[in-house]
Amino acid sequence: MRLFVKNIPWQVSERELGDVFADFGCSDVVICKESEKDGNRSRGCGFLTCERGPDAIAALDSSEPQGRKIRVEKAKAAARAQRGDGRGLG
């Protein structure tokens, strides 16, 4: 299951976030970053793949790793971009 995590402290690395979710079989951790032009700073959210997603949500939603309450939820499918005629771009 793909999870979306928001309100991640800016100083948390992908490895550290992965460590928080390790007990739930999580992998492929990606923290969203600003562009290099904007300093490559964390945007405070990220995605990860989790074997035990529902358990991770139940245990970690509203938890406070590194002193800041994070929100954990099932990731929604990305909306497909549309052309003006409604046929999509791809």
Give residue-wise pLDDT tens across range 26-66.
988 988 877 666 666 678 889 999 999 999 999 999 999 88
The proportion of the chain whose per-residue pLDDT surpasses 70, expressed as a percent, equals 79
3-class DSSP state of 29 = strand
Q: 3 near 54, Cβ under 8 Å?
A: no
What pLDDT was estimated at residue 84? 60
